[in-house]
Chains A and B, each alone.
Chain A
Amino acid sequence: MKTGFSVFLATFVALGASWCGFVLAPVLQLGGAKQTVILQTTDNWPLQRPGEATLGLQIYRANGCAACHTEQVRQTGVAFNLIVTSAGKNPDAVLKAISESEPNQSKYTEHVIGFPGVIFVGISKEQADATSDKITAAGGKVETDLTATGADIARGWGSRQCVAADYLYDQPVQLGSLRAGPDLSNIGVRAPDLNWQLRHLYAPKSVTPDSTMPSFKFLFEVRKIGDTPSPDALELPLEFAAADGYEIVPKPEAKQLAAYLLTLKANAPLYEAPFTPLTTAK
């Protein structure tokens, strides 16, 4: 490094390379990304948010919600659940096949009272295949469910990991880097009630007593109850409620933010993040 030019050249090459790798290449690879299709359906994913929720994302950004909340579920791997949907003509043979199969039998005796029933939970691909072969041979009908594993999934924060496609329409994308509060990727699934969301924004402790979230009171208006009470007024426990004769009404910002939170659902099975969705019909 004898001359300024050689330093310039070294810097240019080094930074230029990472610029090509981490700016140019992602723009080329992902910049033109389009909607994908939800597994085993013809539905598109993700959908554009409704206008109210799009405005809500801006409230989320402006208040720096991402300083404490992530929108990013992680998973460590996958596991399988085995469900016998019908025992066929020879239930005894099926029961025998189940009891002879390798995964821990205690689960079987506990859970299978009748068919259809979940017989094994959280087993590996090989175990699932072997067992389902035996049961099918005995004349039973078997379904294999794919589930995601990991602490985030076990906490109920999502049914699969978040993938690039989930953020397609977020402007700006608010991934977050600290979990001082819970992950919000699926808050719209966990708490689908608009009023719960609003109550939580106004007085977090009124719905989750050990919350450390600050109140977002400035998104609400405390006003005198006029001739007709506002239909939007919050119904709060006594210690959080407004004084007598007053009501707490969400400002448009609060409604938008709550509308945005309700759209946070990363729960569609995708090619890059497959799982078997729960169907209540069974």
Chain B
Amino acid sequence: MNPTENNSSCDREINASLRVPLLALFGGAAVWLVVGLVLGLIAGIKFHAPEFLGGCSWFTYGHLAPAANDAVLYGFCIPAALGVMLWIFARLSQNPLALPLVPVVAANLWHLGVLIGTVAILLGDSTGHTWIEYPRVAAVLLFAAFLLIAVSAAATFGWRREQDLYPSHWFLFAALLWFPWIYSTANLLLISNPLPRGVVQPIIGWWLANNLVFVWLALVGVGTAFYFLPKISVRPLANSGFALFGFITLILFGTWCGIPQGAPVPAWLPTLSSVAAVLTIIPLLAISIVTVKTVCGACVSCHGPFCFIKFGMISFVVSGILYLAEACPQYSRVLEFTWFGVGQTQLQLLGFAAMILFGAIYELLPQVMGKPLPLPKFAKLHFWVAIAGVLLFVVPLIIGGIEQGEKLADASVPFAAANAAALQFLRVSATGQLLILLGALLFTANIFIMTIQWKIGLVKMVIAYLKSPLETPETVEVKS
């Protein structure tokens, strides 16, 4: 169990302080998730009907695919993770959120940045470096917004009542430091003029991609899971020594992965990366042991937040193993440049990070708003739709990628045949994308109805307050 969290008057204060910032972060995140998935779906359709929406430069695969990926990562995963992080910090500190207005401003800046970035990519203003396609204006907005949220989170963290740190603290606090460093380094070096010479650019790009998509998401995902799994199942986190070991090894080894084995760079770089990849099995093992021991035997009804997070942790381990497999030279020769890598990234984003965030939001939002989810059936349906969607989306990409890779490695198979082999699988994965999109719509419906109900409540409260100036706001709130 987490540190003493049963002070109910304190609970109300904490939840009230988080209401506006979290709605601002989650509302925009839900919209970007839907936008990203729609863009991704259109991008997928382009492979079967290249001329679909063909006349317009906005809707070519090269514009859509990066815009879709960035919208899911920067639009959904990061702001949603930041919201969850603020909540966990406030809960663990047993103090209301510090500087609650700052994250509200930051959330709006962040979503504005994502909007500018997405439009810029579609217009052809992408920087051309994977995962940092957003042009300078958008990057500056994102960076500033992150810093603002980090200030609020760090202040909440600093004013905690309990001095001892809980395992989630390590992961989330590290994530808070991680992002500004990697994002500023990559942007300062890659969106500057002139750029660093030659292959230094992709090397920095790979370093950022690994530290953002693999390590950063792992930090927030696992940190969140280590908070919610014990809390929902009302039992302590098993083996917190293992958790510490997993944390340290994850940041020590994980950060060195990511340079592809076939890259045209000095050989020491990919070699170092493949050694790090082998060592990264250690944190994967440690984290999965902690998770399994915490979850096994817990009596929690299925398809609730708990199962979202459980599925997310399974995806984390699977996606981690796939990622490390790519770093083995003999597999890399086959898997590099195929749909396998795309499948692994999508599993990391949509199977791991997004699932854990869905679970966390379904769990914390009713508490923050002080009322149950408006459409609980949608949330249940979302679970099954999301699982089916992720499996249908990712598994064909992985298998198709392996088949494509084997055919590409055999020069007697014409290129078109290797391509066609992968395209059959892409057809199935488009169904998966559709299901994930459906799930995202169910999720968005819940968040939006909740926000609207809250806003109506606010208006009612103000009207009632104006009508009867003697009545105190608290009593009105209870009525509405």
Contact = CB atoms under 8 A, between A and B. Distances in A.
B297 interface: no
Interface in B218-276: 244, 247-248, 251-252, 255-256, 259-260, 262-266, 269, 272
B44 to A, nearest CB: 12
A182 B414 CA distance: 11
A64 B126 contact: yes
Contacts of A70: 337
A177 B269 contact: no
A15 B178 contact: yes
- Chain A, interface residues (CB within 8 Å), range: 35 or more
A8 B54 contact: no
Interface in A170-196: 170-182
Nearest to A60: B128
Given A215-B54, A218-B55, A8 B177 contact: yes
B76 interface: no
B252 A26 contact: no
Contacts of A12: 177
Interface stretch (A78-86, A118-126, A155-163): A155-163
Interface string B52-94: 0011110011110110000000000000000000000000000
Interface stretch (A17-25, A100-108, A135-143, A229-237): A17-25
A109 to B, nearest CB: 24
B197 A168 contact: yes
Interface stretch (A48-56, A91-99, A206-214): A206-214
Given A14-B255, A64-B66, A218-B55, A30 B199 contact: yes
Given A4-B165, A23-B189, A178-B339, A74 B197 contact: no
B170 A7 contact: yes
B60 A214 contact: yes
Contacts of B255: 14-15, 17-18
B198 A179 contact: no
A179 B262 contact: no
A267 B210 CA distance: 31
Contacts of A165: 198
Contact of B244 (A1, A76, A212): A1
A162 B264 CA distance: 6
B124 interface: yes
Interface string A209-225: 01111111110000000
Max chain B CB contacts within 10 Å: which of A26, A165, A210?
A26
Given A15-B251, A21-B272, A164 B62 contact: no
B424 interface: no
Contact of B251 (A10, A63, A163, A217): A10
Contacts of B22: none
A212 B341 contact: no
Contacts of B341: 177-178
Nearest to B167: A1
Contacts of B461: none
B129 A214 contact: no
A66 B62 contact: yes
A179 B341 CA distance: 11
Interface in B108-155: 121, 124-130
A166 interface: yes
Contacts of B408: 151, 179
A164 B199 contact: yes
A33 B174 contact: no
Interface in B42-57: 46-47, 50-51, 54-57
A177 B205 CA distance: 12
Nearest to B52: A214
B463 interface: no
Max chain A CB contacts within 10 Å: which of B51, B262, B409?
B262
B360 interface: no
Contacts of A281: none
Given A23-B207, A215-B51, A178 B342 contact: yes
Interface stretch (B383-391, B415-423, B465-473): B415-423
A8 B199 CA distance: 31
Interface in B151-206: 157-158, 163-165, 169-170, 173-174, 177-178, 181-182, 185, 189-190, 194-204, 206
Contact of A2 (B55, B164, B252): B164
A30 B264 CA distance: 12
A27 interface: yes
Given A30-B198, A214-B60, A15 B211 contact: yes
Given A26-B203, A172-B201, A215-B50, A74 B333 contact: yes
A279 B58 CA distance: 45
Contacts of B54: 214-215, 217
Interface string A235-260: 00000000000000000000000000
A90 interface: no
A236 to B, nearest CB: 16
Contacts of B262: 72, 74
Contacts of B178: 11, 15
A19 B185 contact: yes
B280 interface: no
A3 to B, nearest CB: 7
A4 B124 contact: no
A214 B46 contact: yes
14 contacts: A8-B177, A14-B255, A15-B251, A19-B185, A30-B203, A30-B266, A64-B66, A151-B409, A166-B264, A177-B130, A179-B404, A212-B50, A212-B423, A218-B55
Interface of B: 46-47, 50-51, 54-57, 60-63, 65-66, 121, 124-130, 157-158, 163-165, 169-170, 173-174, 177-178, 181-182, 185, 189-190, 194-204, 206-207, 211, 244, 247-248, 251-252, 255-256, 259-260, 262-266, 269, 272, 333, 336-339, 341-342, 404, 408-411, 415-416, 419-420, 422-423
Cβ-closest 9 pairs across A and B: A64-B62, A154-B411, A62-B124, A61-B128, A14-B251, A18-B255, A214-B50, A22-B207, A172-B128
Interface of A: 1-4, 7-8, 10-12, 14-15, 17-19, 21-23, 26-27, 29-33, 61-68, 70, 72, 74, 76, 151, 154-155, 161-182, 204, 208, 210-218
